[in-house]
């Protein structure tokens, strides 16, 4: 077992292939966090705390005669509010109406084989036949009240991943109130760390940023009801010297698609605490006697081998242990989506014309985007009316799907089930189904309001309408969109309930509907979307194997978006399409070839009117589709390497995929600037066998030469020129 408890020293040691995680129950029953980092033995490392009298750091409860014992500077496993620790905390809770205070002490623990699951929430699971996964459950109790906290740990030994979640139980006879219920906290004694996080905006998600932690509290959060375009629930803490190839780094990924909060405090003694979980902004949760609250799961990983290794580990774990879609290891269909081709202006004839070209080029699927239902000719009306607009289309959905299928293409469709326009039959019938604060005009966004997913009737309606759409024709794919933030928080369906619970109930409702669709339509391919990548998080990947990565389809801006996304998420999860030029978001013109190279970084397709392609572009498209089909296994299963950073190298961006057995690789490079009298541009490969011989573009190299010397990129022939170079082991 990868989890050990030493009865004598009362220490827990969790071992993975590249890390050790340690806790200790001290003589007062406090659960201390004593280590997370490079693999070490079972020693009791609590001596490193070195108790001292740190003035103004007080003592909890009965500890009146030892001024060196203070929760305010001890490294703690699950920091709570109210025990004289004034740093950021994970739990702020107590009897309803009281000022919250807790003092948690160890009660018991249990170690078992396999991985725990979380009701109604995403969680990693052990893959079939994966034996090296264990669960540790530690029970803590408040020193005064019947308030219990179960800390859950899943240890994936070979995968080098540890998961955490906390379950808060009210065993009192009176109601309890949670004001903050985070998934975890963790303390570092005195490392000097940098924070890496991924900020952004609509049409510019997951931009890489690295900054030193300075004294005080740093926060990365969303209060928007979705995980958001602006911040991502995945951060890395790393040593100062950490690079792609070496150095200690710790990844923290929250499996949650709603408002979240990561806080990092660098404190008076240069210790660092990280806390993360559901955003406690507006959060209030009532726990009746006998009830419990389950926090979302966090995935933790540590490696001493730098960011590449950290990402590769997460990619593997998410593919094998998080994504459940039957499509996860299958080749994803190369598709054409009509959004940027037609926007709302289409009928069956236009779609069939696009599909004809798609079939001719060798694509696999046509996706019918927004505008096929209700009275939807623009974004002002129709959301919520999930019945096909036959007048606009000119035929039924089934007829259209049949025509598409006859061309040998799959048929997919866009939906936005969480939303409603005020100008819709649904809103006219059920105005009480939206989130809207009584007596106030609702805040608008894209002319739509948010359905109240804390309302059971709404959940039932969503399940029924999605089933009806999928069953009405041979729908083999849906793109599940969400085009505004969750706002106007008030649920008329739950007047007795604390309105502070609505945001979380919304996410639970969303997961419930997605679970229903996944179970009811087991072969369906679902792609997530939230105005592009506003809900690109690990929680979502439990339900969908891929997410439309951004509404920005410009290949050059996508380089940065894909780069940032790749740190925390597998590339097969990245939906990426070739679109028309000048690009619709920024007006840039990029060669057709390069648009293909960039879109092939993930799950590939086109988002333009294929009937308008020139013969030359058609030939290029055929070649792109052939290349994608032939090399998809590498893109999906290979190890992804960021070879240069588009945030540092402004001349070119390069990345590669290397097959698990190192016999094949793809090197991709895009020039992002041109110079007169240019210097040679050399790119070093990674992850090959140093003694093997490889062939690339007709030249033979040793693996060592490719990795230590590199290849020289051909000189760019035009602005934004690019290359895809296949590398094969010949001996
Ligand atoms: C969002 C999506 C787009 C498209 C439109 C349709 O913005 O991200 O891809 O589907 O909605 O309204």
Query: Measured at the alpha carbon of residue 471, what is the angle toward residues 469 and 475, in degrees to the nearest 5?
Result: 75
Residue 392 belongs to some domain of the structure: no
pLDDT higher than threshold 90 for residue 1: no
How far does residue 404's CA lie from ligand 1's centre (Å)?
22
CA 199 remoteness from chain centre: 13
- Tell me the average pLDDT across 46-59: 94
| Spatial distance between the Cα atoms of 132 and 157, rounded to a whole number of angstroms | 6
Cα angle, residue 705 at apex, residues 702 and 711 outer, rounded to 5°: 110
DSSP string, 179-194: EEEEEEEEEESS--EE
Mean pLDDT over 442-455 rounds to 97
Report how far residue 40's alpha carbon sits from residue 104's, in angstroms, rounded to the nearest whole number.
28
Residue 416 lies in a domain: no
State pLDDT tens for residues 269-316. Answer: 999 999 999 999 999 999 999 999 999 999 999 999 999 999 999 999
109: which 2 tokens? Answer: 């623990």
User: Helices marked H in 166-283 — which ranges?
Assistant: none
Q: How far is CA 451 from CA 94, 420, 437, in A?
A: 31, 7, 13
Spell out a b/e string for 126-138, using b for 16 or more CB atoms within 10 Å of the CB, else e. beeebeebbbbeb
The answer to the question of residue 586 being in a domain is no
Spell out the alpha helix ranges (H) of 176-323: 306-321
pLDDT tier at 65 (50, 70, 90 boundaries)? confident
Task: Kindly report whether the global pTM for this prediction surpasses the value 0.85.
Answer: yes
Burial string for 610-628 (b: 16+ CB within 10 Å, else e) reads beebeeebeebbeebbebb
The mean-pLDDT minimum among 65-69, 237-241, 583-587, 645-649 falls in: 65-69
**Is residue 261 domain-resident?**
yes
Structure tokens at 350: 């236009």
The predicted structure's pLDDT at residue 63: 87
Count of beta carbons in the 10 Å neighbourhood of residue 521: 17
- Domain containing 716 equals 642-729
**Residue 296: its pLDDT value, please?**
98
Banded model confidence at residue 402, pLDDT cuts 50, 70, 90: very high
What is the distance between the alpha carbons of residues 577 and 233, in angstroms, rounded to a whole number? 25
Distance 531 CA to ligand 1 centre (A): 5
Q: Does any domain span residue 87?
A: yes
Residue 494 has pLDDT above 90, yes or no: no
pLDDT band, residue 64 (cuts 50/70/90): confident
CB atoms within 10 A of CB 429: 11
Which of 303, 321, 339 corresponds to the end of one domain? 321
Percent of the chain residues past pLDDT 90, beyond the cut = 98
pLDDT at 726 over 90: yes
Distance CA 68, CA 43 (A): 23
Report CA(283)–ligand 1 centroid distance (Å): 30
Ligand 1, closest atom to CA 414? Answer: 10
Per the structure, the count of domains in the chain is 2
- Does residue 551's CB lie within 6 angstroms of at least one atom of ligand 1? yes
Cβ proximity of 16 and 31 under 8 Å: no
**Residue 55 CB neighbour total at 10 angstroms:** 7
Rg (CA), the chain: 27
Classify residue 466: in a domain, yes or no: no
Catalytic residue among 617, 623, 651, 695: 617
Residue 413: band (very low, low, confident or very high) from pLDDT cuts 50, 70, 90: very high
Residue 41: pLDDT band with limits 50, 70, 90: very high
- Give me ligand 1 centre to Cα 256, in Å: 22
Domain end point (choices 261, 292, 321): 321
pLDDT digits (tens, 9 = 90+) for 667-724: 999 999 999 999 999 999 999 999 999 999 999 999 999 999 999 999 999 999 999 9
Residue 52 catalytic?
A: no
Say whether pLDDT at 62 is over 90.
Answer: no
Q: Which phi and psi angles does 597 have, rounded to 5°?
A: -60, -45
Residue pLDDT, tens place only, 530-539: 999 999 999 9
pLDDT per residue over 197-234, tens digit each? 999 999 999 999 999 999 999 999 999 999 999 999 99
Residue 191, pLDDT above cutoff 90: no
Positive or negative: CA dihedral 450, 542, 556, 592: negative
Known active-site residue 537: yes
The protein residue whose alpha carbon is closest to atom 7 in ligand 1 is 531
Domain holding 695: CATH number? 2.60.40.1180
Q: Is the CB of 548 under 6 A from ligand 1?
A: yes
CA-closest candidate to residue 487, choices 519, 459, 451 = 451
Q: For a substitution probing ligand 1, which of 373, 481, 577 has the most ligand atoms within 8 Å of its CB?
A: 481
CATH code assigned at 211:
2.70.98.60
Instruction: Give the distance from CA 267 to its chain's centroid.
Output: 29
Confidence at residue 496, expressed as pLDDT on a 0 to 100 scale: 81
Which of 289, 321, 353 is the endpoint of a domain? Answer: 321
- 477, containing H or E segment: strand 475-480
**Does 418 sit in the ligand 1 pocket, CB within 6 Å?**
no
Burial group, residue 108, by CB count within 10 angstroms (0-12, 13-18, 19+): exposed
Query: In this structure, is residue 450 part of a structural domain?
Result: no
Is pLDDT at 497 greater than 90 in this prediction? no
Distance 483 CA to ligand 1 centre (A): 7
* 540 within some domain: no
Task: Answer whether 528 contacts ligand 1 (Cβ < 6 A).
Answer: no
The DSSP output letter for 634 is H
């Amino acid at each position: 077992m990868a989890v050990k408890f030493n009865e004598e020293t009362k220490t827990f040691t969790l071992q993975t292939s590249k890390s050790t995680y340690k806790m200790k129950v001290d003589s007062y029953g406090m659960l201390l966090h004593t280590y997370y980092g490079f693999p070490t033995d079972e020693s009791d490392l609590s001596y490193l705390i070195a108790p001292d009298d740190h003035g103004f750091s007080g003592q909890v409860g009965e500890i009146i005669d030892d001024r060196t014992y203070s929760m305010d500077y001890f490294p703690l496993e699950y920091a709570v509010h109210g025990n004289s620790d004034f740093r950021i905390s994970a739990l702020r809770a107590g009897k309803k109406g009281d000022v919250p205070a807790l003092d948690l002490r160890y009660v018991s623990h249990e170690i078992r084989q396999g991985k725990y699951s979380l009701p109604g929430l995403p969680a990693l699971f052990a893959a079939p036949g994966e034996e090296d996964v264990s669960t540790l459950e530690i029970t803590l109790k408040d020193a005064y009240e019947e308030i219990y906290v179960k800390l859950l740990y899943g240890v994936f030994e070979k995968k080098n991943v540890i998961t955490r979640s906390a379950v808060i139980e009210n065993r009192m006879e009176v109601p309890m109130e949670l004001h903050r219920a985070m998934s975890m906290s963790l303390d570092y004694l005195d490392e000097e760390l940098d924070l890496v996080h991924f900020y952004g905006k609509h049409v510019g998600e997951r931009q890489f940023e690295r900054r030193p932690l300075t004294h005080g509290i740093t926060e990365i959060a969303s209060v928007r009801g979705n995980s958001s375009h602006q911040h991502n629930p995945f951060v890395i803490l790393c040593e100062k010297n950490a690079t792609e190839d070496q150095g200690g780094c710790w990844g923290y990924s929250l499996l949650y698609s709603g408002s979240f909060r990561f806080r990092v405090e660098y404190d008076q003694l240069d210790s660092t605490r990280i806390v993360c979980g559901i955003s406690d902004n507006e959060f209030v949760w009532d726990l009746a006697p006998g009830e419990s609250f389950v926090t979302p799961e966090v995935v933790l990983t540590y490696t001493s081998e730098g960011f590449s290794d950290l990402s590769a580990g997460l990619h593997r774990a998410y593919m094998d242990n998080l994504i459940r879609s039957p499509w996860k290891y299958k080749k994803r269909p190369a598709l054409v989506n009509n959004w940027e081709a037609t926007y709302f202006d289409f009928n069956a004839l236009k779609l069939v014309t696009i599909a004809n070209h798609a079939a001719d080029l060798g694509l696999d699927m046509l996706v019918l985007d927004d505008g096929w239902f209700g009275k939807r000719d623009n974004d002002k009306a129709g959301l919520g009316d999930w019945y096909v607009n036959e007048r606009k289309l000119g035929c039924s959905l089934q007829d259209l799907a049949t025509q598409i299928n006859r061309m040998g293409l799959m048929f997919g469709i866009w939906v936005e089930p969480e939303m409603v326009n005020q100008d819709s039959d649904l809103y006219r019938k059920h105005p009480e189904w939206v989130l809207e604060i009584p007596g106030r005009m609702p805040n608008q966004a894209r002319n739509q309001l948010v359905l109240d997913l804390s309302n059971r009737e709404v959940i039932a309606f969503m399940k029924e309408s999605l089933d009806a759409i999928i069953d009405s024709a041979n729908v083999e794919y849906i793109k599940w969109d969400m085009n505004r933030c969750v706002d106007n928080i008030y649920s008329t369906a739950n007047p007795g309930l604390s309105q502070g619970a609505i945001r979380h109930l919304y996410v639970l409702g969303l997961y419930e509907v997605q679970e229903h669709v996944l179970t009811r339509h087991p072969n369906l391919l679902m792609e997530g979307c939230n105005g592009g990548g506003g809900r690109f998080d690990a929680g979502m990947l439990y339900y969908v194997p891929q997410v439309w990565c951004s509404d920005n389809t410009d290949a050059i801006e996508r380089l940065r978006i894909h780069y940032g996304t790749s740190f925390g998420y597998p590339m097969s999860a990245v939906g990426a399409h070739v679109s028309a030029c000048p690009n619709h978001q920024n007006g840039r013109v990029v060669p057709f070839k390069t648009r293909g190279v960039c879109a092939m970084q993930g799950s590939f397709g086109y988002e333009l009117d294929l009937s308008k392609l020139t013969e030359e572009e058609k030939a290029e498209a055929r070649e792109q589709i052939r290349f994608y089909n032939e090399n998809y296994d590498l893109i999906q299963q290979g190890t992804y390497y960021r070879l240069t950073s588009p945030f540092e190298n402004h001349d070119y961006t390069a990345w590669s995929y290397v097959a698990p057995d190192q016999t094949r690789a793809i090197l991709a490079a895009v020039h992002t600037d041109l110079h007169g009298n240019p210097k040679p541009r050399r790119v070093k490969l990674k992850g090959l066998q140093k003694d093997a011989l490889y062939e690339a573009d007709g030249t033979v190299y040793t693996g060592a030469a490719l990795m230590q010397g590199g290849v020289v990129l051909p000189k760019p022939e035009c602005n934004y020129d690019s290359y895809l170079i296949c590398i094969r082991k010949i001996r």
